[in-house]
Amino acid sequence: MKVYKTNEIRNVALVGGAKSGKTTLAEAMLFEGKVITRKGTVDDRNSVSDYRPIEQEKEHSVHSSLMHTLYDNKKINLIDNPGFADYVGETIASLRVADTAIMLVNGQAGVEATTETAWRQTVKTESPVVFLVNQLDHHMANFNDTVNALAEYFGEKVTVAQYPVNPGEGFDTIIDLVLMKQLKFKEGGGEPEVTDIPESEMDRANELHLKLIENAAEGSEELMEKYFEQDTLTIEEMREGLRLGLISRSIFPVLAGSAKHSIGVSRLLDFISKSCPAPSDMPAHETIDGQSFRCDENAKPSLFVFKTSIEQHLGEVSYFKVCSGVINEGMDLVDSRTENKERITQLFLLNGKNREKINQVVAGDIATTIKLKDVRTGDTLMDGGIQDGGFPKIEIPDPLYIVAIKAENSADDEKMGAILHEMHKTDPTLGIEYSRELKQQLIKSQGEFHINTVKWYLNKANNLEVELYTPKVPYRETITKIANADYRHKKQSGGAGQFGEVHLRIQPYEENYPKPTDIPVRGTEEHALPWGGKLIFHNCIVGGAIDARFMPAILKGIMERMNEGPLTGSYARDIVVYVYDGKMHPVDSNEISFKLAGRNAFSMAFKSAGPKIMEPVYDVEIMVPEDMMGSVMTDLQGRRGMIMGMDSKGKNQIIRAKVPGAEMARYATTLSSITSGRGVFSMKFDQYQQVPTDVQDRLLKEYEEASKEEED
């Protein structure tokens, strides 16, 4: 293939809601560019983009796919992204390297929940956005209502650049407000028949054309001056205004079409070619260390890895965008994360699963390579002479849906763990963690669809049966008052025996806690616990009742019990211990004896010191449409949530609440159900608080029953 220069490249991410037609549009764009000779469909399971078995079975995109088409001597890279919010990580990564987002909107449904989700990601990445109202061939399509909804949700800069003349069944004609011509398309696409705008459409076209010119002129002061002088702009000036306005997000053009019938697709490609920014038009890349990199093919080479996949017959494939310079086959670059040298052994262009070997990739282009040694998604590879921290990592959203998982056959646990970690490589939003505290393998995801995808790969791609269940809650145990206890450990079994006796007092830890007046403190150790809180250990032994060499053993026994609390086996925290007396045996006393004596004395004192279970409480922020607030707040109250405040943001309301973590299991699914997918939330750990008495009683009963089952 010809090596295209930076100004001949356009990078486009197809984003939007599920069933808005992104994959169908990609197919039509490849066909119009003569990259493929026959269009596949999602229904026939033969599209270029959705080539993976899981996508063919589920009939929707699960992973982003890299493709390219050719038009007007330009190479247009396309990244087709899944529409469901659970796969938002794919969209985030794609927007990081795309220079324009084409956001598809279903002309029947208008602005959907998933449209809002995609929009929020473009806001975060400051991506240029072009709206395409698709499926205008459907009898329920309503272009005007859809445009009004777009403006209502996303602002007054939403500007019509095309509109349909005959939406509904038989749709084939568009008024183009840049060209100020009527375009009539044949079934199956191709270049349209271009005619003058009919008299019946002229008033509407002139009105919308004027608004388009005004918004395009805002792209630069020079264009604004020309507009004031001439009361209009030429086509070339309008295209320049659109390009500049897209970059600054001061205009969001709206186009019209039907991807299924290829109506408007050739004009979309023309719009991308002539009005959307090239990589070199975009603002410079900033490295972590503040170094500025423009997308210049004459600069030193650098690339950013935005995606990793595992492909049959190829192994691990790294997807990258060249940020500067030229990447050649056989080139050595340095990974800014590891500082290791990586060799680019082979370069490929992709169209779905089809690959084409190339020798060179220039700044701004997107390609893939294989067999890198230790490169992860989000890594920067640069010329060895460049000294900086690389480009910022891809921002990974916090997990919203966590489940515990185990293999049905325990012999498969190791295999399952290896597969999950491979999946994390290809999807960084999928968190994999073994919790030593909970003794559970956890999967942290974006939602139920995300988890079902994991299960599909384990079941169908790896023949591994697994069980999913709600993870345990990481409770904490503590005390509320002072208590004393003593314990004698004595064991005689022939030969040397075991003997150790420990007397201790415990009290709750708090800043400036009161010291006892009846116990003299000889030494103090303060331990910040890995799970939060503190243990203060006071040695108060006088007269040699316990030899100093046994004090570490007593502390170890107490720490073991803190690690597995006396009430529910959860971590204990915020306790002050005074070891003030005890007894030894000249022959039988040893470290194990005092460790056990200390451990048991601590357990006895703990249960007498007003023990309390503490639960994690989260700051939860929920954004919902105003008319759904009541249902969401009622649900929060049922989860023992405490409403802390409310704010408005555009058409939505933001509810801030504190909610116990135990009540947030599967909340992502519940919120989606309550709000028809329009509610979104985030949660951040706040603090541990004591559980209500009824909850504590239930937890103690459950732990007692579970312990009995284990003994049986």
Q: What are phi and psi of 9, to 5 degrees?
A: -115, 140
Tell me the average pLDDT of the chain. Answer: 94
If one compares 287 and 508, the residue with the highest pLDDT of the two is 508
pLDDT at site 290: 84
Of 580, 610, 640, the one marking the end of a domain is: 610
Q: Is the pLDDT of residue 171 over 90?
A: yes
| HSE-CB for 111 with a 13 A CA cutoff | 21
Task: Note whether residue 708 is domain-resident.
Answer: no
Lowest-pLDDT range of 68-72, 107-111, 221-225, 490-494: 490-494
Q: Which two tokens stand for residue 133?
A: 């109202």
> What CATH number should be reported for the domain holding residue 38?
3.40.50.300
Q: Are residues 183 and 275 in the same domain?
A: yes
Residue 157 has pLDDT above 90, yes or no: yes
**CATH classification at residue 510:** 3.30.230.10
Same domain? 531 vs 605 = yes
Return the structure tokens found at 134: 């698709």
Pair 37, 171 in one domain: yes
Provide the pairing of β-strand 534-539 with 431-435.
unpaired
Confidence of residue 387 (pLDDT cuts 50, 70, 90): low
Are 91 and 26 a contacting pair, CB within 8 Å?
no
Regarding whether 503 and 354 lie in a shared domain, the answer is no
Burial class (CB in 10 A: 0-12, 13-18, 19+), 685: exposed
> For 207, how many CA atoms within 13 A lie in the half-sphere containing its CB?
5
Question: Could you tell me if 87 and 190 lie in one domain?
Answer: yes
Give the residue-averaged pLDDT of 529-540: 95
pLDDT at 711: 61
**DSSP designation for 326:** E
Do the domain assignments include residue 702? no
257 and 182 within one domain = yes
- Predicted TM-score (pTM) of the model is 0.89
In Å, the largest CA–CA distance within the chain is 112
Domain range for 550 is: 477-610
466-469 and 534-539 beta bridge pairing: unpaired
When pLDDT is cut at 50, 70 and 90, the band that residue 707 belongs to is: confident
Give the chain's end-to-end CA distance (angstroms, integer). 70
The one-letter code for the residue type at 502 is V
Tokens of 254: 């709206």
Dihedral of CA atoms 439, 442, 448, 450 in degrees, nearest 10, equals: -160
The answer to whether residues 26 and 123 belong to one domain is yes
Domain count, the chain: 5
Single residue among 564, 580, 610 that ends a domain in this structure: 610
Q: Cα(116)–Cα(61) distance, rounded to whole angstroms?
A: 18
Q: Which of 642, 648, 633, 678 is nearest to 660 (CA)?
A: 642
CATH number for the domain spanning 296: value is 2.40.30.10
The predicted pLDDT at position 710 comes to: 67
How does strand 534-539 pair with strand 575-583? parallel
Which of the pair, 712 or 354, is modelled with greater confidence? 354
- For the ranges 79-83, 174-178, 489-493, the lowest mean pLDDT is seen at 489-493
190: confidence class by pLDDT, cuts 50, 70, 90: confident
pLDDT class of 664 with cuts at 50, 70, 90: very high
Residue 632 sits in a domain of what CATH number?
A: 3.30.70.240
Banded model confidence at residue 231, pLDDT cuts 50, 70, 90: confident
Whether the Cβ atoms of residue 644 and residue 657 lie closer than 8 Å to each other: yes
Q: Within a domain: residue 391?
A: no
- Dist. CA 137–CA 29, nearest whole Å: 18
Local structure of residue 263 (DSSP, 8 states): B
Q: What percent of the chain has pLDDT over 70?
A: 99
Q: Is residue 712's pLDDT more than 60?
A: no
CA neighbours within 13 Å on the CB side: how many for 548?
4
Looking at the domain assignment, is residue 109 inside a domain? yes
CA 691 distance to own-chain centroid: 31
Residues 187 and 68 in one domain: yes
Given a contact cutoff of 8 angstroms between Cβ atoms, the answer to whether 67 and 351 are in contact is yes
My answer on whether 36 and 166 are in the same domain is: yes
Q: Annotate 586-599 with three-state secondary structure.
A: CCCCCHHHHHHHHH
Q: How far apart are CA 221 and CA 217, in angstroms?
A: 8
Within-domain flag for 706: no
Q: Are 618 and 580 in contact (CB under 8 A)?
A: no
CB atoms within 10 A of CB 526: 11
The Cα angle at residue 338 between residues 332 and 344, in degrees rounded to 5: 25
Residue ending a domain, among 467, 485, 513, is: 467
Sheet with 162-164: list strands edge to edge: 162-164, 173-176, 181-184, 193-195
Residue 397 lies in a domain: no
Q: Does 604 share its domain with 631?
A: no
Q: pLDDT per residue over 144-153, tens digit each? A: 999 999 999 9
Q: Does position 494 have pLDDT exceeding 70, yes or no?
A: no
**What's the pLDDT tens digit per position in 68-99?**
999 999 999 999 999 999 999 999 999 999 99
- Report yes or no on 146 lying in a domain: yes
**With 0-12 CB in 10 A as exposed, 13-18 as middle and 19+ as buried, what is 599?**
buried
Rounded CA-CA distance 311/304 in Å is 20
Instruction: Kindly tell me if the per-residue pLDDT of 226 is higher than 80.
Output: yes
Rounded to an integer, the average pLDDT of 403-422 is 94
| Same domain for 243 and 219 | yes
Question: Both 621 and 592 in a single domain?
Answer: no
What does the angle CA 130 – CA 131 – CA 132 come to, to the nearest 5 degrees? 120
In a domain, 387, yes or no: no
